[in-house]
Structure 1
């Protein structure tokens, strides 16, 4: 898939998250070449550092790496769940891409989240309100984006549940009465309720049975094809990355060690860590 270089949707530069008190040598003493993201002098933890990339409309970008590599931290900063330490990000549909969204006020960040982004977490409890019905969860997202017509909201919830293969007659049931796979499908419905141009998926199939995983992945791929949503897919599972993504970034110890087209990385990985990941898939 070819993308117009000027037509970016999301631009990220030097995104960095450090826990603890770093010193001026922290970044130079951590990373894949040291086999650690913990600063030997200050014991501060570099969750991720110098993450830069562009994402294009309709593109699916994968971020892959072992547990603790920093991949989930990247999307959580972009979705405003975590504060950055350094770095900047611009989203084209917001102020024509002229404002660094990470510098905006909390009120503006809420607007961006509710109108221009969706997030599907590994654990549905992080993305759903278990005190609301499944339809109520979708309504919550729509209301936060300023929609108030009850009939329209209910119709949209029915349509989304139908699209994600959740029985519409269970719209008034709470997510706690659903299976894990069905909870994920409700969470996906909620995340795409406002047709956001950008969707984050953080380890969405981890913990699901293999057959349920396949159904959830099929659903995501179908939605991407139908709606053309750009996605960032975080996973430690290369088979998920291979199925969903156009391009992939490989992370280790908080840094990107390799990036490129998914087929290219999976067929001919250059970095030794990427080679190790790919050989474990074979």
Structure 2
């Protein structure tokens, strides 16, 4: 792996809810077993998050509920405003510009052209008033594709790829099962051929058999398209199946980082050891 060939570079990403005083970062985290600042009551959702992602790589972020893992990807997709940090994308201005300080119109461009997002709850990623094809069309329109024929063709291609019956392209996702809603969400996220796909707890709440189908679909898409992904999950089974490298988070901090196989077979941090032992 060429260390200069990164796709995404994240440096010192931090999100604090409430008054942001640097001292809060010194009094929260795994060593204190809390992410609540004792001085201000502020919640340090994540702090000092650093990592790179390379082309074609799948990075996992794992941790218990409240560890800050979803906060990280929500900041990358501009759903949340970061308190501090820098994010660079090599496909945007040759990786020289901090995405977090760009104006809103530039952030919209980045979201619509260079990123895809699949949320835990399909209602966060889909417009339930639109058809499944209409949701894909919405993403394409925002990315500057206006030709109706090309939009329908692309929607058909993506729905077929994600195993959504084409005869249901004009049906609303509200009438679909949870697993099919997630597949439509994946199709929508891929509409603009983004170099980076963000997946936030995409199998949580699905039946086990449906989970397996969704995970197989994600793995097939990654293998065939060589797309880079960030996979957020509390489930080490999902992380084992999908990812190359993994970050382990607790109380808003990264406590361990390495190759997924190494972390699962020889965890070093006591919290990671607890996670792995719970999987066995």
CA distance in 2, matches of 1:245, 1:277: 16
Which residue in the other structure is 1:256 paired with?
Answer: 254
Could you state the TM-score of these two structures normalised by the residue count of structure 1? 0.99
Listed one character per residue, the Cα deviations across residues 12-47 of structure 1 (whole Å, up to 9, x for unaligned) are: 000000001133310000000000000111110000
Displacement after TM superposition at 1:170 (Å): 0.2
CA contact 1:22–1:39 (8 Å) conserved in 2: no
Which residue in the other structure is 1:80 paired with?
Answer: 78
Listed one character per residue, the Cα deviations across residues 246-270 of structure 1 (whole Å, up to 9, x for unaligned) are: 0000000000000000000000000
CA distance in 2, matches of 1:25, 1:208: 41
Which residue in the other structure is 2:264 paired with?
Answer: 266
Alignment pair present for 1:215 and 2:229: no
Displacement after TM superposition at 1:4 (Å): 1.2
CA contact 1:64–1:235 (8 Å) conserved in 2: yes
1:47-196 alignment runs, 5 A limit: 47-196=45-194
For residues 23 and 135 of structure 1, do their structure 2 counterparts lie closer, same or farther at Cα, with a shift above 3 Å needed?
Answer: same
CA distance in 1, matches of 2:75, 2:54: 19
Which residue in the other structure is 1:225 paired with?
Answer: 223
1:38 aligned residue (13, 23, 36): 36
Listed one character per residue, the Cα deviations across residues 202-235 of structure 1 (whole Å, up to 9, x for unaligned) are: 0000000000000000000000001111000000
CA distance in 2, matches of 1:42, 1:194: 43
Q: What is the root-mean-square deviation in Å for CA atoms of aligned residues?
A: 0.5
CA distance in 1, matches of 2:201, 2:30: 22
Which residue in the other structure is 2:15 paired with?
Answer: 17
CA distance in 1, matches of 2:252, 2:21: 17
CA contact 1:55–1:61 (8 Å) conserved in 2: yes
CA distance in 1, matches of 2:40, 2:110: 35
**What SS does the aligned partner of 1:25 have?**
helix
CA distance in 2, matches of 1:22, 1:201: 28
CA distance in 1, matches of 2:175, 2:20: 45
1:235 aligned residue (212, 233, 236): 233
The runs of 5 or more residues in structure 1 that have no matched partner are none
CA distance in 1, matches of 2:143, 2:120: 24
Q: Provide runs of 4+ in structure 1 moved above 4 Å.
A: none
